[in-house]
Amino acid sequence: MLVRIATAIALVSAVPVFSMQESLISESQESTAEQLIEMGLASDSGYEIVRSLTTEVGPRLGGSRQEARARDWAVQMFTELGFENVRIEPFEMPYWDRGAISTSIVAPFPQPLRASALGGSAATPQGGIEAEIVFFESFEALRDFDGSLENRIAYVNDRMISAQTGAGYGPANQKRRFAWLEAEARGALGVMIRSVGTDSHRFPHTGMMSTPNDGTINSGTHSDVAIAYIREEHPDYAENRMWSSIPAVALSAPDADQIERIHESGESVTVRLSVIAGWRGSRQSGNVVAEIPGRERPEEIVLIGAHLDSWDEATGAVDDGAGVGIVTAAAHLIDQLPRAPRRTIRVVLFGAEEVGLLGAFAYARDNSEDIGNIVLASESDFGAGLVWSLASGTSEEGTRFMDEAQQIIAPLGIIRGDRASNGGGPDIIPLAARGVPVFRLNQDGTDYFDLHHTPDDTFDKIDPDSMAQNVAAWAAITWLAAETDVEFRTQDE
């Protein structure tokens, strides 16, 4: 572990930016943060929490019985660890079920394909559909196509590029979010896409489509971009449609390669597709909350979170069991100190994130009167890779504080990142939109999208040393923020 951290430090360069102003972090506070780092590196509690969740609960799709079991599991875990004010905050949600899927090439070279229905997909008619595909090299090519797709299936092939920051996800994910809309508007029977992922394994990547729903959007990337796109490109859908009426599936990378090779040979490709998916009414989900009450300013809250749900085709170890383990273990380390920090630390495990940030929006709605008391917030939801940078979106004083805090966690191989970031994680978006300051401990996501939303997202992919580094960094930063009296909000908020 120490060798890996030393290597990380050697590969990065961090030049601290200090003014002549008095330090915002005292020597005693720095000493306690360093103690928490040592405790975190020596602890396997985060790793064991992920083991427990993925083994004892398993897959936990939003709104399912498995997700309900996960909430019960979380309440028991928080209680046994000694957290206070442990509770479930329930909310209602629409429930989508994947059902069975069968996909194959009928001509010119008959063979089965591996595919996964995308969240929000409609079912095929009974008996399935059989049709020629129209091959589009990119989502932009489909979007710009001015012909008809009647009685055919649209296929979108563009690839995702791997990056430490995960920057390739947004561009590649356009097809998952909106290809159904473009295909349906042109009369297609269905839509198939190359999975949004960076692996070469025969595991398709599922994920939620962006869908108009009573004027709001359940976005696959949880962004207002989805709302703007649908309203600008297809205003009739934004006003009159709630869900896709055609099946939408993602092919594994090797199967997408197979389609690509046949297409490049000049042959037409005919596929058969059967999907038994659809919306099954309303179900209950919920957010699980636990706290370490502050000793001096209990009304002021440092909120850290992760999402408890996962997709249904794996046990959700990387996405986002790792986050659950990281923030819970970090808060538990803080709770073992001789005294609580000045401010309250609140841990929130959000429900139904994968199907559209439903728990995040429910939390912001149901706790609207409390949002002004949240002094800082962040979420761990990018796997279990090593943390490599600290970003923040706070006041000028808060930025100075984070500059100093980064120096304390620098021995973990963590540099100072964006000082104007407004991203604290997907489930923090509704809070940030209401003025809550944020920070983010950015993880190495180079191989995150090899596993993301696939059947391969299982516990064996979690590295205990990387988990320990995450827990150490989260414990130090969270405690420092909860112990200080720094005002992280900007004055106009």
Q: What is the pLDDT of residue 420?
A: 83
- Dihedrals phi, psi of 20, to nearest 5 degrees: -85, 5
400 and 442 together in one domain: yes
269 and 352 together in one domain: no
Q: What is the pLDDT of residue 244?
A: 80
Structure-block tokens of residue 291: 């706290």
457 and 478 together in one domain: yes
108 preceded by cis ω (within 30°)? Answer: yes
Q: Is residue 114 part of a domain?
A: yes
Domain boundary among 277, 310, 339: 277
The domain containing residue 218 runs over which residues?
A: 101-277
Domain boundary among 277, 300, 319: 277
- CB atoms near residue 147 (< 10 Å): 8
58 and 115 together in one domain: no
51 and 151 together in one domain: no
181 and 238 together in one domain: yes
478 and 345 together in one domain: yes
Q: How confident is the model at residue 234 (pLDDT cuts 50, 70, 90)?
A: low
Q: What is the pLDDT of residue 217?
A: 37
DSSP class per residue in 124-189: PPTT-EEEEEEEESSHHHHHH--S--TTSEEEE---PPP-TT-TTHHHHTHHHHHHHHHHHHTT-S
The alpha carbon of 406 is separated from its chain's Cα centroid by a whole number of angstroms, namely 24
CATH of residue 212: 3.50.30.30
Radius of gyration for the alpha carbons in the chain, expressed in angstroms and rounded: 23
Domain boundary among 248, 277, 306: 277
pLDDT tens digit sequence for 10-37: 444 344 444 467 999 999 999 999 999 9
Q: Is residue 491 part of a domain?
A: no
Does residue 87 carry a pLDDT above 90? yes
Report which of residues 418 and 223 the model is more confident about.
Answer: 418
42 and 113 together in one domain: no
The alpha carbon of 229 is separated from its chain's Cα centroid by a whole number of angstroms, namely 21
Q: What is the pLDDT of residue 17?
A: 47
pLDDT tens digit sequence for 432-481: 999 999 999 999 999 999 999 999 999 999 999 999 999 999 999 999 99
CATH of residue 23: 3.40.630.10
Structure-block tokens of residue 50: 């992920």
Q: Is residue 352 part of a domain?
A: yes
> β-strand 190-194 against 248-251: which pairing, if any?
parallel
Q: Is residue 33 part of a domain?
A: yes
pLDDT tens digit sequence for 49-62: 999 999 999 999 99
Does residue 493 carry a pLDDT above 90? no
Q: What is the pLDDT of residue 11?
A: 42
The DSSP secondary-structure symbol of 210 reads P
243 and 380 together in one domain: no
Which of 290, 260, 321 minimizes the C-alpha distance to 452?
A: 321
343 and 290 together in one domain: yes
Does residue 488 carry a pLDDT above 60? yes
> CA–CA separation, 41 vs 1, rounded Å?
9
Report which of residues 422 and 205 the model is more confident about.
Answer: 205
Q: How confident is the model at residue 491 (pLDDT cuts 50, 70, 90)?
A: confident
Q: Is residue 1 part of a domain?
A: no
Q: How confident is the model at residue 235 (pLDDT cuts 50, 70, 90)?
A: low
pLDDT tens digit sequence for 426-435: 999 999 999 9
Does residue 160 carry a pLDDT above 80? yes
- CB atoms near residue 206 (< 10 Å): 26
Percent of the chain with pLDDT over 70: 89
Does residue 159 carry a pLDDT above 50? yes
Percent of the chain with pLDDT over 90: 86
151 and 15 together in one domain: no
- CB atoms near residue 146 (< 10 Å): 5
Q: Is residue 493 part of a domain?
A: no
Q: Is residue 96 part of a domain?
A: no
122 and 201 together in one domain: yes
- Cα torsion through 176, 181, 187, 192, rounded to 10: 10
Q: Is residue 490 part of a domain?
A: no
Domain count, the chain: 2
Q: What is the pLDDT of residue 373?
A: 98
Q: What is the pLDDT of residue 180?
A: 93
Q: How confident is the model at residue 5 (pLDDT cuts 50, 70, 90)?
A: very low
Does residue 216 carry a pLDDT above 60? no
Average pLDDT in the chain: 91
Roughly what angle, to the nearest 10 degrees, separates helices 27-42 and 464-483?
A: 160
Does residue 274 carry a pLDDT above 60? yes
